[in-house]
Structure 1
Amino acid sequence: MNAPESVMVVAGTRPEFVKLAPVVDALERSDRFETLLVHSGQHYDELLSERLRESVSLPDPDVHLGVGSASHAEQTGRLITAIGELLEEHEPTYTVAQGDTNTVLAAAIAASKRPTTFCHVEAGLRSGDREMPEETNRVLADHVEGLSFAPTEEAAENLRNEGVTEDVYVTGNTVVDACRDNLAEARDSSDVLDRFGVRPEEYVVATIHRPRNVDDPARLRRIVSALEDAPVPVIFPAHPRTEEALRRAGHGSGGSLRVVDPLEYLDFLRLLDGATAVVTDSGGVQEEASLLSVPCLTVRPNTERPETVEAGVNVLVEPDAIGGELRSLVYDPDRRAAMTGARDLYGDGRAGERIVRLLAHRLDHEEPELDADAVEEVVESPAE
């Protein structure tokens, strides 16, 4: 048996920790790889990083870069330099990052300058909105030569339409792995519903953090007003930047709206699992809502998760439409039922395992391109 190949996994935000945990777990269980886990420090709040890692069973990072808060350019520049130095020092065979943050963009650029293969988990997502920094990040990361792990066939098609045709694999989304790995424990151990005094299917969850929604005071006031007037309690775990925007706007808990601190992952998973509906601008929450059969209202003009809209489980809304949509979902059980039932949009919960076995397969074959049937054959056959 040859010595294990080194894999550098770079993460720095709440969604990245959640979605990379299944990949890290599969790497740790494989005798083909040794893992170097790098925390960029892009999310540095304890609830958004350290305690979250513990709840999804990620090991302690081997390296913590501590980039902290800064402008997009400064944050990305610092991370390119720091990750580049780590790549030079450790010379990993693979460099893995997930999603569309500044951490991902920095990892992709740094990897492109070194003899390592960049692996983009959740490749190919597109909203079509270049005003979103995340859209720029994901497009640029996808065009770094390496391996593209697309969560859906639609995401893979986006890549092909942009000329990215080699080493593209439809693996499913690791969010499914994470949810299925943690949902039973969340239901058994979390007391979040009791703490907030709500009962299943008698409340709404809200998560709003995108600059489009929180940096425009008038738009934020319209969102908050709709949530305050909701016909059932609205539990709003607020991102730190959203809390600051609410303070500046002079808003907080009022009416039906209850603004609370960010939640640990298992608590949030249990809260979302029991909700009548969720109002969000988060991409990951759109995915989790479809998996948990929770109707989703996305306060955005577009989404990089179009499968949810096409399946009828997600509706794109403007702030003034939130109130009417919530009343419809609360009072019309048929409407609510019609916005559930698409639990399999993002795969079977084996994406992390699938990704790691594809990495092992690549080590053993000069021609790693595989069609869908061959990908499944790799997954079904243990990696030696």
Structure 2
Amino acid sequence: MAAGKTRIIATIVGARPQFIKLAAVNHVLRQRSGMTEVVIHTGQHYDDPMSAAFFRELDLPEPAINLGVSGGGHGRMTGRMLEAIEAALVEIKPAGVLVYGDTNSTLAGALAAAKLHLPVAHVEAGLRSFNKAMPEEINRRLADHCADLLFCPTRRAVDQLRSEGVVKGVHFTGDVMYDLARRFERPDPQVLRRLDAPAGGALVTLHRQENTDEPRRLAALAEALVALSRELPVFFPLHPRTRAALKRAGLFKALAAACRLAEPIGYIELQSVLRASRLVLTDSGGLQKEAYFARVPCVTLRDETEWPETLEGGANRVAGASPKRIRRAVKEALATRVRPKRRFGDGRAAERIVAWLEKSWRTP
């Protein structure tokens, strides 16, 4: 596969947020005649609404390789990915390996490449929540310290890496998700009708293990959302893990009676619902940023955030899982006018990333 002088870049993805980031960079890479991207999908997110649907709507080519690794505990999943990615990289012989974000797929890809002495580039480097109980925090820290090129979405991320003694190969590029978000200005009424998503309501997403796997915390969050539904219509697309957890905890029926529960929705659909909403409540790092870009106030259903830039001016409020704190944060958020500052670049992050890849990686 490594014929001629074309530089092959192996890109490792596996989860929905990575497909979105991949789209921004892939569209630029496809315009470069001297570079060929081989996308390896680990299979971490595998069903159509969480995977294939994103490739279709974001105009992404089908992955060249799908490893089909999903399920199981973190160690088992990451170990199986590591073994399978290593075998794929040995066959492909890329000039380098590109990883995104902070999932198990990110860590497995970075480790496999590093052990094969292949250069690693990490998109979204330098983020820290400082909560080591989060699997994502472990993944992002280790990926950063495996990487040769560290593409930082914010200046704060650059400073964080410097504080850890990492300065070589660090570049402030801006955020690739901002590149994509700039394409959207207004909600699409047809999308809202098709989804039966209320305009002027609250958009809710919830998927992190810390919220779904702790019954008391999940019950507190459900209580807060039912209370919110008495003030605003609530649109809640359910991650498969969240749906299963709510049913297991006996919370699903009460929540379904109060909120508009939906299947997972695509990226473009989410952008329309977001821009039609008065408020976002989420534990997603990506949606915190997207709300900021869209000037929609956000309440983060976690105890910390890796995106402190979004906290400026009250655009985002960290409320944890306490119904009382969430209620207070919602009240304050609804009274807030979000005025984003240019913390995430100028919308050309993908172009900068590809330029650095071209400059840094040569054919083996």
State the TM-score bracket (shorter-chain normalisation). over 0.9
**Correspondence 1:215 to 2:217:** no
**Correspondence 1:158 to 2:160:** yes
**Correspondence 1:325 to 2:323:** no
| Contact in 2 for aligned 1:290/1:345 (Cα 8 Å) | no
Shift of 1:192: 2.4
SS at match of 1:9: strand
Note the 1:363-374 alignment, pairs <5 A.
363=361
Q: Which residue of 1 aligns with 2:41?
A: 39
**Correspondence 1:342 to 2:340:** yes
| Contact in 2 for aligned 1:228/1:256 (Cα 8 Å) | yes
Residue correspondences, number: 353
Note the 1:191-270 alignment, pairs <5 A.
191-193=191-193, 195-196=195-196, 198-199=198-199, 202-230=200-228, 231-252=231-252, 253-254=255-256, 256-270=258-272
| Contact in 1 for aligned 2:282/2:300 (Cα 8 Å) | yes
Question: In 2, distance between residues paired with 1:249 and 1:124?
Answer: 36
Percent identical pairs in the alignment equals: 38
SS at match of 1:148: strand
Shift of 1:326: 2.4
> How big is the alpha-carbon RMSD for the aligned residues of Structure 1 and Structure 2?
1.7
Q: 1:115-142: CA deviations, max 9, x gaps?
A: 4210000000001111111101100000
| Contact in 2 for aligned 1:190/1:266 (Cα 8 Å) | no
Shift of 1:216: 1.6
Q: Which residue of 2 aligns with 1:373?
A: none
| Equivalent residue letter for 2:356 | L
| Equivalent residue letter for 1:228 | V
Question: In 2, distance between residues paired with 1:11 and 1:53?
Answer: 12
Question: In 1, distance between residues paired with 2:75 and 2:67?
Answer: 16
Ranges in structure 2 where 5+ consecutive residues have no aligned partner: none
**Correspondence 1:353 to 2:357:** no
Ranges in structure 1 where 5+ consecutive residues have no aligned partner: 365-384
SS at match of 2:109: helix
Q: Which residue of 1 aligns with 2:176?
A: 174
SS at match of 1:29: coil
TM-score by length of 1: 0.88
Note the 1:58-73 alignment, pairs <5 A.
58-73=60-75
Aligned partner of 1:85 among 84, 87, 90: 87
CA distance 1:277–1:85, change in 2 (3 Å):
same
Higher mean Cα deviation, 354-363 or 136-145?
354-363
| Contact in 2 for aligned 1:229/1:255 (Cα 8 Å) | no
TM-score by length of 2: 0.93
Q: 1:60-118: CA deviations, max 9, x gaps?
A: 11000110111100110011111111111111001001000000000110000124210
Moved over 3 A (4+): 186-190, 253-256, 327-330
Question: In 1, distance between residues paired with 2:52 and 2:86?
Answer: 24
Q: 1:206-242: CA deviations, max 9, x gaps?
A: 0111122111222111111111122011101111000
| Equivalent residue letter for 2:262 | V
| Contact in 1 for aligned 2:314/2:336 (Cα 8 Å) | no
